[in-house]
């Protein structure tokens, strides 16, 4: 195989006479290679957590060859074997690509290249020449960006626009690869990159939850359902929290997303009462916005303005690209652009194909992978600066993370001096909303009790499930690491899964996500101390433990985490914290809290609604009713403040009595 190689010069996307790109897999048009010999054919694979992707060369007539693309679900591996035989890429006697040798090697990337070696040997009579997955993904992306005109494009406001990129001005850039999970890489040159981070909330999460909530059988079916749905049926928006009058006063869009699935927690509807289309639309918006937000934060920390998105879960789907594009534009204030790639799902397979004839490549085994430690570990903080000694007499500045139905992150720089930095729509309302749909629980406490008895690994896809028992040591991912929350869900029958396991997976996925985003925001703002508050964490030991573990993992212990469970409490260093000496007594006590908790991505334009309209339960909501509701909420907040102040007084008295008056901050 050493004499075989791919000639990429003059590559171009093949367009049919009618003016459209002819694609043999329904979405990835062939790439014409005018100088590549048609024979012998070359084949490379990327065997991921849920899909097997194939890239192969084929004769196209008139000289040259074409790169063609195909994909199969990993659980239907036999269909992949049948396809390879049918295309003449492997002969029954074990020879392939014109060779008479037995057990000739095919270039293969992805964790499945290690797990399914014997399957390919048994079924096709070939061995798999393993190419590192991250190397392949980056090589594939660089090939498209440097050698294929028109491979990069933007998708904004429903318009697809080609992006011309000079190979001399390509690096550095951020590559976000959306597979079952998400890997985020900083690429600085050909074969020069580092995996800076990733998230377990990726395509596998969307598809796994989509199976359970909608009964869909394929990811393409899920995408089709989402096109016909309305996420506002289940999502909590700003108008639902503040009312239309407050939105008008503050200049807020009434349809700004506050909490994905947040309406479910106050609804009496069951899962079967919701349309699959609306559930699918809500899932898609929830997780595409989240991936975009994490990508924006990482790009900001690394000071990168160019962000490319690839991976098999994009699939050229308009709503997926639109959501990601809007969110990147929203959070960056139009300073960043989301750029997509043709053949985005085949980056790994393309990179593996290009390794034919590469003298620098080698057949990697797991022991050799374990010896390579020069790649950035996924758990390593992006900012490696050491933590300054905390001055307990002055806690400012710090990050305040309020976890309600959504999540708001506020930088507090002094007494009464604070600014909302960012928010997330995946908060407590999302956790409980999905929990009610998946488990039927009636309260957050019941959900937490279920999660205590469950095992998230029953539904979560781990690195070991993809790569085998040794994990992916080259980038520091042990086998036990979660690769994709709900990525192991294979059945569309909800009844086949224990509610306890589903609850455990929900708690694990969203608390870790909140912790990751909080760390990135603190990193970006140069903050070393994070305080958490909100009804969805305080008093819930399991939730606090998960968030603490997440912050410790991401920051390597560089960030101090404290929970505000009531207005006065003992902090982790024995110091007495209160909203007053933290400088947020006004924020915690008054309606201003509502104003700073808003601001997740705008999700679309709703028609203006009259001040009097019908609710789902048939009751009228009037101007007077809205005012009365706000008065009631204010009374509740006032009563809660008085209760917390009493607790504060009692706690201070106990501390004075114990002989430790100097622990107070004034």
In this predicted structure, which of 4-18, 72-86, 195-209, 320-334 has the lowest mean pLDDT? Answer: 4-18
What's the confidence (pLDDT) of residue 632? Answer: 62
**Partner residues linked to 536 by β-bridges:** none
User: What distances in angstroms separate CA 546 from CA 468, 509, 532, 569, one per listed residue?
Assistant: 26, 10, 13, 20
Query: What residues have CB less than 8 Å from 421, skipping those under 6 apart?
Result: 399, 409, 410, 411, 521, 525
Q: Answer yes or no: is pLDDT of 110 > 60.
A: yes
**Which of 94-103, 343-352, 600-609, 629-638 shows the lowest mean pLDDT across its residues?**
600-609
Cβ burial 320-331 (10 Å sphere, 16+ → b, else e) = bbbbbbbbbbbb
609 DSSP 8-state letter: -
Q: What values do phi and psi take at 122, rounded to 5?
A: -75, -45
Segment (H or E) for 601: none
Confidence of residue 571 (pLDDT cuts 50, 70, 90): very low
Residue 591 has pLDDT above 80, yes or no: no
What per-residue confidence (pLDDT) applies to 433? 97
User: In this predicted structure, what is the pLDDT of residue 575?
Assistant: 39
Question: What is the pLDDT at residue 455?
Answer: 97
pLDDT band at 75 (very low <50, low <70, confident <90, very high): confident
Contact 141, 152 (CB under 8 A): no
Instruction: Report the percent of the chain where pLDDT is more than 90.
Output: 57
Residue 466 and residue 112: Cα distance in Å, rounded? 6
Nearest to 83 by CA among 69, 102, 100: 69
Predicted confidence at residue 470, as pLDDT, reads 87
Structure tokens at 33: 């290679």
pLDDT of residue 540: 86
- Residue 326's alpha-carbon distances to 280, 289, 582, in angstroms, are 19, 9, 35
Enumerate helices (H) and strands (E) in the chain, giving the number of each: 19, 27
Supply the pLDDT for residue 640.
64
| 175 contacts 310 by C-beta, under 8 angstroms | yes
Cβ–Cβ under 8 Å, residues 293 and 466: no
Distances (CA, A) of 522 to 69, 336, 405, 528, 562: 42, 20, 21, 7, 14
Measured CA to CA, the distance from residue 122 to residue 81 in angstroms comes to 11
CB atoms within 10 A of CB 480: 10
pLDDT mean over 392-402: 81
- State the pLDDT confidence band at 74, using cuts at 50, 70 and 90: confident
Q: Please calculate the CA angle 254-287-481 and round it to the nearest 5 degrees.
A: 145
Residue 512 pLDDT class (50, 70, 90 cuts): very high
CA dihedral sign, ordered 275, 280, 285, 287: positive
124 or 75, which is more confident: 124
Fill in the DSSP letter of residue 20: S
Chain length of the chain: 666
pLDDT of residue 385: 38
Q: What is the pLDDT of residues 536-553, one digit of tens each?
A: 887 788 899 999 999 999
Comparing 45 with 9, which gets the higher pLDDT?
Answer: 45
Quickly state the pLDDT bin for 390 (edges 50, 70, 90). very low
Query: What residues contact 13, with CB distance under 8 A and at least 6 apart?
Result: 21, 29, 30, 31, 32, 148, 149, 150, 151, 342
Please state, in angstroms and as integers, the Cα–Cα distance from residue 443 to each residue in 85, 424, 647, following that order: 54, 22, 26
Contact status, residue 340 vs residue 444, Cβ threshold 8 Å: no
Residue of 617 and 314 predicted with greater confidence: 314
Residue-level pLDDT at 392: 44
Residue 623 predicted with pLDDT over 70: no
Sign of the Cα pseudo-torsion (439, 440, 441, 443, in order): positive
pLDDT score of 659: 60
- Answer with the residue of higher pLDDT: 477 or 280: 280
Lowest-confidence segment of 312-326, 349-363, 486-500 by average pLDDT = 349-363
Q: How many CA atoms lie within 13 A of 190 on its CB side?
A: 9
What digits encode the pLDDT tens for the residues 626-644? Answer: 555 556 666 666 666 666 6
Q: pLDDT tens digit string along 51-69?
A: 899 999 998 877 899 999 9
pLDDT of the residue at 365? 47
- Does the pLDDT value for residue 401 go beyond 60? yes
Contact by Cβ (8 Å): 50, 204? yes
* Cα 160-165-169 angle, rounded to 5 deg: 150
The CA distance from 494 to 16, in Å, is 44
- Give the Cα separation of 69 and 31 in Å (integer): 9
Q: What is the mean pLDDT of the segment spanning 370-379?
A: 36
Strand-pair category, 529-533 with 398-403: parallel
- Residue 384: pLDDT band with limits 50, 70, 90: very low
CA dist., res. 27 & res. 31, Å (int): 13
Tell me the per-residue pLDDT of 90-99, one tens digit each, with 9 for 90 and over. Answer: 754 334 444 4
Q: What is the pLDDT of residue 419?
A: 86
Domains located in the chain, CATH noted:
1-15+27-91+102-131 (3.30.420.40), 152-228+280-341+460-491 (3.30.420.40)
Containing 287, the helix (H) or strand (E) segment is helix 276-301
Burial of 377 (0-12, 13-18, 19+ CB in 10 A): middle
Virtual torsion, Cα 585, 587, 591, 593, nearest 10 deg: -140
Helices (H), 496-619: 499-525, 541-555, 585-589, 592-596
Cβ atoms 530, 542 nearer than 8 A: no
The conformation of residue 602, written as its DSSP 8-state character, comes to B
Q: Is the pLDDT of residue 597 over 60?
A: no
- Over residues 421-440, the mean pLDDT reads 95
Average pLDDT of every residue of the chain: 81
- Number of other CB atoms surrounding residue 248 within 10 Å: 14
Query: How many CB atoms are located within 10 Å of the residue 589 CB?
Result: 18
Burial 302-314 (b: 16+ CB within 10 A, else e): eebebbbbbbbbb
Q: In what helix (H) or strand (E) does residue 65 lie, and over which residues does it extend?
A: strand 65-73
Which of 118-122, 363-367, 566-570 is the most confident on average? 118-122
Report CA dihedral (222, 226, 227, 231) to the nearest 10 degrees. Answer: 180
Mean pLDDT of 296-308: 97
Section 481-504 average pLDDT: 96
What's the whole-number mean pLDDT along residues 199-208? 96
User: Tens digit of pLDDT for each residue in 30-49?
Assistant: 999 999 988 789 999 999 87
Q: Under DSSP, is residue 98 helix (H, G, I), strand (E, B) or coil?
A: coil
Please report the pLDDT score of residue 416 as a whole number. 79
397 contacts: CB under 8 Å, gap ≥ 6: 411, 412, 413, 414, 525, 527
In whole angstroms, give the CA distance from residue 455 to residue 486. Answer: 12
Tens digits of residue pLDDT in 114-146: 889 999 999 999 999 999 999 999 999 999 999
């Amino acid at each position: 195989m050493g004499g075989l190689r791919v000639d990429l010069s003059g590559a171009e996307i093949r367009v049919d006479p009618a003016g459209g790109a002819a694609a043999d897999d329904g979405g990835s048009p062939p790439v014409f290679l005018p100088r590549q010999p048609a024979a012998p054919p070359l084949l490379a694979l990327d065997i991921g957590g849920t899909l097997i992707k194939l890239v192969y060369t084929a004769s196209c007539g008139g000289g040259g060859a074409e790169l063609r693309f195909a994909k199969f679900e990993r659980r239907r591996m036999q269909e992949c074997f049948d396809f390879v035989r049918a295309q003449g890429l492997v002969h029954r006697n074990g020879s392939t690509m014109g060779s008479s040798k037995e057990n000739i090697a095919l270039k293969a990337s992805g964790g499945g290249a290690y797990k399914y070696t014997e399957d390919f040997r048994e079924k096709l009579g070939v061995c798999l020449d393993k190419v590192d997955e991250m190397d392949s993904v980056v090589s594939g992306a660089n090939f498209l960006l440097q050698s294929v005109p028109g491979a990069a494009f933007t998708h904004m406001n429903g318009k697809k626009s080609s992006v011309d990129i000079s190979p001399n001005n390509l690096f550095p850039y951020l590559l976000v690869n959306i597979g079952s999970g998400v890997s985020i890489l900083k690429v600085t040159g050909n074969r020069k990159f580092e995996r800076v981070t990733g998230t377990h909330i990726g395509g596998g999460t969307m598809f796994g939850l989509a199976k359970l909530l909608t009964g869909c059988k394929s990811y393409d079916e899920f995408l089709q359902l989402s096109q016909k749905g309305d996420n506002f049926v289940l999502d909590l928006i700003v108008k639902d929290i503040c009312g239309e009058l407050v939105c008008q006063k503050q200049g807020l869009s009434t349809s700004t997303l506050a909490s994905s699935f947040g309406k479910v927690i106050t609804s009496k509807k069951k899962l079967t009462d919701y349309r699959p289309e609306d559930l699918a639309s809500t899932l898609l918006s929830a997780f595409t916005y989240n991936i975009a937000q994490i990508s924006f934060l990482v790009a900001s920390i690394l000071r990168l303005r160019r962000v490319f998105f690839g991976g098999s879960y994009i699939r050229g789907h308009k709503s997926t690209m639109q959501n990601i594009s809007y969110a990147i534009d929203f959070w960056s204030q139009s300073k960043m652009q989301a750029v997509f790639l043709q053949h985005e799902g085949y980056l790994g397979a393309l990179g593996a194909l290009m390794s034919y004839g590469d003298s620098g490549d080698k057949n990697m085994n797991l022991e050799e992978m374990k010896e390579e430690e020069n790649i950035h570990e996924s758990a390593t903080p992006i900012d490696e600066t050491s933590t300054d000694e905390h001055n307990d007499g002055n806690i400012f500045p710090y990050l305040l993370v309020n976890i309600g139905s959504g999540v708001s992150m506020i930088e507090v720089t002094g007494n009464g001096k604070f600014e909302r930095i960012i928010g997330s729509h995946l908060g407590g309302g999302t956790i409980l909303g999905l929990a009610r749909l998946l488990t039927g629980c009636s309260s957050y406490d019941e959900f937490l009790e279920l999660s205590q008895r469950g095992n998230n690994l029953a539904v979560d896809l781990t690195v070991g499930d993809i790569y085998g028992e040794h994990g992916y040591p080259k980038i520091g991912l042990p086998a036990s690491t979660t690769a994709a929350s709900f990525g192991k869900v294979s059945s569309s029958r909800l009844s086949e899964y224990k509610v306890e396991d589903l609850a455990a997976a929900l708690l694990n996925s969203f608390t870790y996500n909140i912790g990751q985003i909080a760390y990135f925001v603190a990193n970006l703002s140069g903050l070393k101390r994070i305080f958490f508050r909100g009804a969805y964490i305080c008093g819930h030991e399991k939730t606090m433990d998960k968030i603490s573990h997440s912050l410790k993992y991401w920051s390597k212990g560089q960030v101090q985490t404290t929970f505000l469970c009531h207005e006065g409490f003992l902090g982790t260093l024995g110091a007495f914290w209160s909203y007053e000496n933290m400088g947020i007594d006004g924020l915690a006590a008054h309606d201003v809290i509502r104003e700073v908790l808003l601001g997740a991505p705008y999700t679309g334009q709703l028609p203006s609604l009259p001040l009097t309209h019908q609710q789902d339960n048939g009751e009228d909501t009037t101007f007077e009713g809205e005012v009365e509701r706000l008065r009631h909420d204010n009374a509740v907040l006032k009563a809660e403040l008085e209760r917390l102040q009493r607790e504060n007084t009692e706690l201070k008295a106990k501390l004075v009595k114990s002989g430790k008056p100097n622990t107070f901050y004034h």
